Structure 1
């Protein structure tokens, strides 16, 4: 059960997190984030809090549904994307890509202190998988890129199991136990 701390380098915010496989899927809990995904890695339940704002949501068929500020919303999307690395894990795992594989993924992006939402389409590519030797044996680390198809902005991130080990604007500050494989 991985537990650790991510450092958001731009804001200096520390995100203490814990994630674990569960009976129906996987769960990620951190400061202001509680994300539970199903066996296909789609959001079964999401609760985000920021200041006085709360967003609750999840998937229903081809749509994601959410309530923010007492208003209900829906969009045809694969899941959510937010500032927490837990969202990258959930989206990447849901795609089940082989190295070199690419998928265009509609998502509901949640951002800022007011948890503003907008639908985006991102192109995810699994560039490569490399084995890194550890005390516990070889650990596969995946190199991903994500391109915002509206702005062409590209970001990179690296996953080991259910932990983001490197990403733009994110540092894995500490990890108390190894990633789940």
Structure 2
């Protein structure tokens, strides 16, 4: 069960945005990531709880950022409820998309589990609902993912395979690189792995990007 800490910063000017103290683990039916988020000063800022099934589909998502909360899951695409503590501003949403994304590194792992790419294969397009900071506002985005390299590195605990992905945002053409080992993000724009207590978990490989439901 990997445990550690990510630091988050603005990918353009490197302004600190806070951090995530996380642990994650595979289970009998998928993978789960739980984290507490902090401000740059170290104060509690929210939480992340994401569970995906063995095909990478989100079976439960719970996000908290300041006073805002989101609960979501894969249901006829993806469905969610977003609310503040009073419930006065509660709203529901449903979009024909494959999964969710956001600032947490958990979403990068979840997307790779969903896509199950192989090195050298053509890029794959995926539609995601992003919950954007600081109020977890939903935004539908289309991304293109390609696994450009997969390389084993020797460690004290045996070989560690590092996958290098190229990710582009379809509407802007913005391109960036993500490095992932097992269920841990090693580097990505705006994300740095500061501490890791135990090695990444090795997750089983299965094919499949599910078709979007017809509407």
Distance in 1 between the 2:170 and 2:181 partners?
26
Give secondary structure in 1 for the equivalent of 2:199. coil
Structure 1 runs (4+) deviating above 2 angstroms are 9-12
Give secondary structure in 2 for the equivalent of 1:41. coil
Number of residue pairs aligned between Structure 1 and Structure 2: 180
Which consecutive residues of structure 2, in runs of 5 or more, have no partner in the other structure? 11-15, 37-46, 84-89, 203-215
Cα displacement string for residues 58-91 of structure 1 (whole angstroms, at most 9, x for unaligned residues):
0014x00000122111001110011001000000
Distance in 2 between the 1:158 and 1:111 partners?
22
Give TM-score scaled by structure 2 length. Answer: 0.81
Provide the residue aligned with 1:53 in structure 2.
68
Distance in 2 between the 1:100 and 1:42 partners?
24
RMSD of the TM alignment (CA)?
A: 1.0
Which consecutive residues of structure 1, in runs of 5 or more, have no partner in the other structure? none
Cα displacement string for residues 25-69 of structure 1 (whole angstroms, at most 9, x for unaligned residues):
1000012100000111110000000111000000014x0000012
Give TM-score scaled by structure 1 length. Answer: 0.96
Cα displacement string for residues 161-181 of structure 1 (whole angstroms, at most 9, x for unaligned residues):
000011111110000000001
Matched, 1:151 2:172: yes
Distance in 1 between the 2:63 and 2:145 partners?
24
Distance in 2 between the 1:152 and 1:59 partners?
27
Distance in 2 between the 1:94 and 1:14 partners?
25
Distance in 2 between the 1:100 and 1:168 partners?
22
Provide the residue aligned with 1:19 in structure 2.
24
Match of 2:107 among 60, 72, 87: 87
Query: Quick check: which has more Rg, 1 or 2?
Result: 2
Question: By percentage of residues, which structure has more strand?
Answer: 1
Give secondary structure in 1 for the equivalent of 2:154. strand
Provide the residue aligned with 2:154 in structure 1.
133
